Amino acid sequence: MKLPLSGLRVLDLTNVLAGPYCSMVLADMGADVIKLENADKGDTSRQFEPQVNGESYCFAVLNRNKKSIALNLKDPAGLKIAQQLAAQADIVMENFRPGVVKRMGLDYDSIRLHNPGVIYAAMSGFGQTGPYGKKGGFDIIAQGMSGIMMMTGEPGGRPAKVGIAMNDIASGVTALSGILGALIGKLRFGEGQYLETSLLEAGLAWTPWEFGAFFGSGEIPTATGTRHRRSAPYQAYRTQDGYVTVGAGTQKMWVTFCEKVIHQPDWTQRPAYLTQALRVDHVDELERDIESVLTHNTTAHWVELLDAAGIPGGPVFGYEQALNDPHVLARKMVHDIDHPIIGPMKTLGLPIKSSGALGSIRTPAPWLGQHSTELLSQLGYDNEAIEALFTQGAVFDQYRDKERPPA
């Protein structure tokens, strides 16, 4: 069974995380993703530690199922190759600062002159228009300017960054949904289109509860630690040996939690705890009361009782515990793959399981310029022309003229 995006070609001009995450999912779904990289050092994330045999492990996790061509875009011959690849692509992705691709003739208007059906996705820090349209941006800048850092961390503490690059991933997922929507539109109506998103907008789009509270009542969201702003008990609580999360998010669950988990049935009649809204208003008192019980036993003990009572809950793991958890392993979220330079390695598994062919992990991430010769041949360049391009430095292959280290 063919993967859903088989036969579609993506020219990926993006760098680091947001764009490469999006193109990784497209590649997992079967698209032929050509990662166009700078001939000097390639994608910035190739420099990230840890390095194994000179290859970034982090880059390798994010760039599976892709091909790499390395070009010197300051060389007219290198730029011409990029334009030829764009003319043949079904999808083009870029995350340069606004205006850069236009100077290179790789903007949407230039490409669609020769490729009118192209779907073109632009990703940036703040979008292509508006007062900040020309401003560069990284994940932490977008987290700060979207208000997310002010609502993250412990109450009264300094602004805190979300533990992962949330706005980067949000932007990648947002671009992905736009690309897939544009593909469906092209199948139905026969036309490609231009779409763009930003780190700022994608992060803001993930704040519907906070947005509703602000415009509904003027509430300004502040840091709440692990607490929920609308539900209690719904947070992480200390136990004898760590922390446990409790999601007793309905009145029925609250009663069950009191009666069958912490064995405090009288709490259901306390005036401060009678309703969800009252429990949220008295969340400090509620936390002290619950922890006065939970700290007398282990996390595993409380998880067992929560599960038996049908109350959502679980341990608070460190990342190493999460990746070694039997359930995570059973769901195949840690995938083994052989990399030609790194050797046997782990990569993230597919988070979507399906009854048909929806995604697969087929090939490891490429070394810099691994497919340069192959792609030039597909464009019609003969061996002599390809050799000349390498000689003049317009094209690059990291291991064309030297032996690869043993994996």
- Amino acid found at 197: T
Return the DSSP state at 120: E
Which residues in 159-178 are b (16+ Cβ under 10 Å) and which e? Answer: ebbbeebbbbbbbbbbbbeb
Annotated catalytic residue 43: no
Of 251, 318, 282, 62, which Cα lies nearest the Cα of 165? Answer: 62
Query: Residue 396: CA atoms inside 13 Å, Cβ hemisphere, count?
Result: 16
Q: Which one of 139, 168, 289, 397 is the catalytic residue?
A: 168
| Listed residue (3, 53, 43) closest to 20, CA to CA | 43
For 162-282, where are the alpha helices, taking DSSP H only? 166-189, 199-204, 208-217, 251-256, 276-281
Closest CA to 46 of 37, 168, 79: 37
**Gap between the Cα atoms of 273 and 283, Å rounded:** 9
- Phi and psi of 285, rounded to 5°? -60, -40
Distance from C-alpha of 239 to C-alpha of 299, rounded to nearest angstrom = 6
Find the helix or strand (DSSP H, E) in which 384 lies.
helix 383-392
List, in order, residues 6 or more apart from 349 with CB less than 8 Å away: 331, 332, 333, 334, 335, 361
How many helices (H) does the chain have, and how many strands (E)? 17, 14
- Phi and psi angles of residue 345, each rounded to the nearest 5 degrees, phi first: -145, 170
Q: Which of 403, 377, 369 is nearest to 66 (CA)?
A: 369
3-state helix, strand, coil in the chain (%, to 5): 40, 15, 45
Write out the two tokens for 72. 């010197």
Which helix (DSSP H) or strand (DSSP E) does residue 300 occupy? helix 299-309
Report the distance separating Cα 292 and Cα 286, nearest Å: 10
The residues annotated as belonging to the active site are: 168
